[in-house]
Amino acid sequence: MLNLSEKKIVVTGGAGFLGRQVVDQLLKAGANSDKITIPRSHEYDLRVLENCQKLADQQDIIIHLAAHVGGIGLNREKPAELFYDNLMMGTQLIHSAYLSGVEKFVCVGTICAYPKFTPVPFKEDDLWDGYPEETNAPYGIAKKALLVQLQSYRQQYGFDGIYLLPVNLYGPQDNFNPRSSHVIPALIRKVYEAQEKGEKSLAVWGDGSPTREFLYSTDAARGIVMATQFYNESEPVNLGTNYEISIKDLVELICELMEFEGEIIWETDQPNGQPRRCLDTTRAQEKFGFVALMSFRDGLKNTIDWYRQNPQ
């Protein structure tokens, strides 16, 4: 087990939705708050090599969460930015960490790296069996390249880097911006605004048939910290719940929890995204004992309650 109490730890994206939870879980696992660095993008643009070098200097652990990321809308609007920004941030930070003698690098990848048609549940060994879903591909491939980098640096240099694949995250303090949010916060905001305006219908992209799996942010953060402490191998590891739900059922559940009784209008001219998503979570449980604890219904209720208190 990696003792965190005296380690100097950098958490990129540490002020973000997942990052705040990761920092909290690090503290619960014994890390010293005075030794945790949370770089902000206006101070450390990680697309610039010199910033990565400065950040990695004299650090023991780097947990790389920072990403330029969003939902289908952003993926369609800015594929070039998503590819370039995520590739450059990650690859330069990994190289800088290696040169600086960082003890451990934890890279948080993306479920978007999986092939469009992956047998369900997704197993880590299936990661290279096809091309990602087209709207996700620039982001997914950029992040997947970091797995190759970490594996090759381990092989050649003995550099201890691990790679985690969390499924879609959700929870309080998520990004509810309609231009860049993922499906759960986008739907919660849509229903909330429909209720505020007294509308009797709700338009939703696609036809409702795709399935997704969702991981509560606190569970994801706990899994990341457990992997930091207990996992030291080159193979990627899924973080999820192994619970699959269709978009249609998700919309109906959110409407039920928010007491919205209007008509759902499916915009079938808009993209569905990947047909199915559900992870095999065996490796995480076997390698470092991670099991998600939050039930999906309770997690959704917590997220809805938070947004109602903090509408944006």
Dihedral, CA of residue 221, residue 7, residue 150 and residue 175, to nearest 10? 30
Is 194 annotated to bind a ligand? Reply is no
Taking the C-alpha atoms of residue 299 and residue 234, their distance in angstroms, rounded to an integer, is 31
CB 146, CB 107: distance < 8 Å: yes
Is 168 annotated to bind a ligand? Reply is yes
User: Among this protein's residues, is 114 annotated catalytic?
Assistant: no
Is 167 annotated to bind a ligand? Reply is yes
Q: How buried is residue 246: exposed, middle or buried, by Cβ count under 10 Å (0-12/13-18/19+)? A: middle
Give the CB-side neighbour count of residue 263, counting CA atoms within 13 A: 5
Is 15 annotated to bind a ligand? Reply is yes
Taking the C-alpha atoms of residue 30 and residue 3, their distance in angstroms, rounded to an integer, is 8
Is 13 annotated to bind a ligand? Reply is yes
Q: Which of 176, 193, 192 is nearest to 184 (CA)?
A: 176
Give the CB-side neighbour count of residue 21, counting CA atoms within 13 A: 19
Is 143 annotated to bind a ligand? Reply is yes
Q: Which of 139, 192, 216, 231 is catalytic?
A: 139
Q: Which of 100, 225, 89, 227 is nearest to 145 (CA)?
A: 89
| Bridge partner residues of 267 (DSSP) | 205
CB atoms within 10 A of CB 193: 13
The encoded tokens of residue 184 equal 């759960």
| Interior angle at CA 64, CA 59 and CA 70, nearest 5 | 155
Is 19 annotated to bind a ligand? Reply is yes
Is 197 annotated to bind a ligand? Reply is no
Is 166 annotated to bind a ligand? Reply is yes
Is 205 annotated to bind a ligand? Reply is yes
Would you please indicate which residues are annotated as catalytic (active-site) residues?
139
Binding site for substrate: what residues are annotated?
190, 205, 212
Binding site: what residues are annotated?
13-19, 143, 166-169, 182, 190, 205, 212
Binding site for NADP(+): what residues are annotated?
13-19, 143, 166-169, 182
